[in-house]
Amino acid sequence: MQFLKQFAAIAALCFGVFSYGQQDAQYTQYMYNTISVNPAYAGSRGHISIGALHRSQWVGLDGAPTTQTFNAHSPIGYRGVGLGLSIVNDEIGPTSETNFDIDFSYTVWTSTEGRLSFGLKTSANLLDIRFSELNQYTTDPTLQQDIDNRLSPNIGAGVYYHTNKYYLGLSIPRFLETTHFQESNLSTAKEQMNLYLITGYVWDLNEFVKFKPALLTKVVKGAPLQVDLSVNFMLNDKFILGGAYRWDAAFSGMAGFNVSNKFLIGIAYDKETTELGNAAFNDGSFEVIFRYDFISTKDNLKSPRFF
């Protein structure tokens, strides 16, 4: 069993780190974490909003990915301008990446309810690869020197349209295809452009129940198309229950609780549909998110925002 764990960890490392198409971190509760992938979302909630997320993927597997995010964003004094800060830490095996993002958005009113936002993202990536932690059975000169805090700048952009019931966003968080490490045509942790499409709608089924389907699609060169389809129900503006399907990858269950119209807690559990999901040492993937909105009483919100 220990051998299988080590083998799977090395396989995951090779896929996630040494592959040509390096992907961004993935989230099941993406509808509450939009600013991590789309800078145009900054300030769209109309007040200061902060959020934190932790994801443990493939629990029980040695070296499995873990992700932590923190973000804060708000409109600022000038009409239509929003600013945001995001920090994303992603670890898998002996590698870790930390992204520090600053987001800028500008919003125009397209109707009495519709708003169209344009966003820019500037980011700095810190990469660590600790080759010394690998069990090496052959001497490979490319794996003898650790990579410590290698800094790579990047830029991104996005557009985001929303009303009180509907939203649609398109973004590329990182345009620059940076090669962090290269040796004899073998690239390690090569950045590729990740294209995100996110959309969702909220229906009032009755006075007490709201229904929201949502969709996230991610396209990246060198990796399979990722499609996440989710459905959530909000009961009495307090309890959230739902599920999701990640195409050819996983089924998910989600739950949330609005402690107040300011504070949201959400959890999710993924069960992989791949062969890895059937492994005895894989207990699935877990995710928890917290979001707090600094809403003043004069805002007079009737119910918590769903996105």
The span from the CA of 237 to the CA of 258, in Å, is 7
Contact 98, 70 (CB under 8 A): no
- The rounded percent of the chain whose pLDDT value lies above 90 is 59
Annotated domain spans of the chain: 41-293
133-139, Cβ contacts within 8 angstroms, sequence gap of 24 or more: 133/93, 133/94, 134/10, 134/94, 135/6
- The rounded percent of the chain whose pLDDT value lies above 70 is 79
For residue range 234-248, list pLDDT tens digits in order: 999 999 999 999 998
Note the pTM of the prediction, 2 decimals. 0.85
Contact 252, 243 (CB under 8 A): yes
Fold of 41-293: Porin (2.40.160)
Identify the pLDDT of residue 13.
Answer: 42
The SS3 assignment for 148 reads: strand
Return the structure tokens found at 161. 């349209």
Q: Which of 62-71, 180-189, 221-230 has the lowest mean pLDDT?
A: 180-189
Contact 117, 107 (CB under 8 A): yes
Question: What is the pLDDT confidence band of residue 297, given thresholds at 50, 70 and 90?
Answer: low
For residue range 140-198, list pLDDT tens digits in order: 555 556 777 789 999 999 999 999 999 999 999 999 887 665 554 444 556 788 999 99
Identify the pLDDT of residue 14.
Answer: 41
Find the largest Cα–Cα distance for the chain: 67
Identify the pLDDT of residue 189.
Answer: 54
